[in-house]
Amino acid sequence: MAGKSFPPASSPVPLLSGGNPQIPKGFGNAPVQAYIAAMPGWKSDLGRRLDAIIVTTVPEVKKAVKWNSPFYGVEEGVWFLSFHCFAKYVKVTFFRGASLDPVPPGVSKHPAVRYYDIREGAFDESRFADWVKQASRLPGEKL
């Protein structure tokens, strides 16, 4: 989004409850990288890894920050996943997660949505990459 500036990595970013970075809404890589840089502690390394796996798996991926969370999609405005920091984990949301095989373990009040909660030291990169590949091929969610 032209004209938007995002805090440099050295600038303190306010953290919302649970340690989620408060990053202005924006489209493209810059706001997503600002969010990842502001993720507290071990979560920042995890955020970099999530982003790298998504970009490697879906090279044409589109990115944005909405509602203080990074979003990823294969076309502008249509998203297949997002993630969000909580106090003790990072929650990955697969908008069509009920269609993935195997289905991610976290249940949502929305039947199509499934979650993958990642705690420190418990990230299954291979499983995540497979879910990303599958999710990117499903119809996305317009948000």
Query: Which two three-digit tokens encode residue 110?
Result: 């929305």
Write out the DSSP string of 56-121: HH-TT-EEEEETTEEEEESBTTEESEEEEE-SSEEEEEETTGGGSSSPPSEE-SSTT-EEEEEETT
85-121 pLDDT, tens digit each: 999 999 999 999 999 999 999 999 999 999 999 999 9
d(CA 143, CA 95): 10
Reading the chain (143 residues) residue by residue, the pLDDT tens digits are: 444 555 555 557 888 878 889 889 999 999 999 999 999 999 999 999 999 999 999 999 999 999 999 999 999 889 999 999 999 999 999 999 999 999 999 999 999 999 999 999 999 999 999 999 999 999 999 98
d(CA 138, CA 133): 9
Domains of the chain, CATH where assigned: 33-142 (3.90.1150.200)
d(CA 81, CA 61): 11
Threshold 0.85, pTM exceeds: yes
- Taking each continuous run of H as one helix and of E as one strand, the counts in the chain are 3, 9
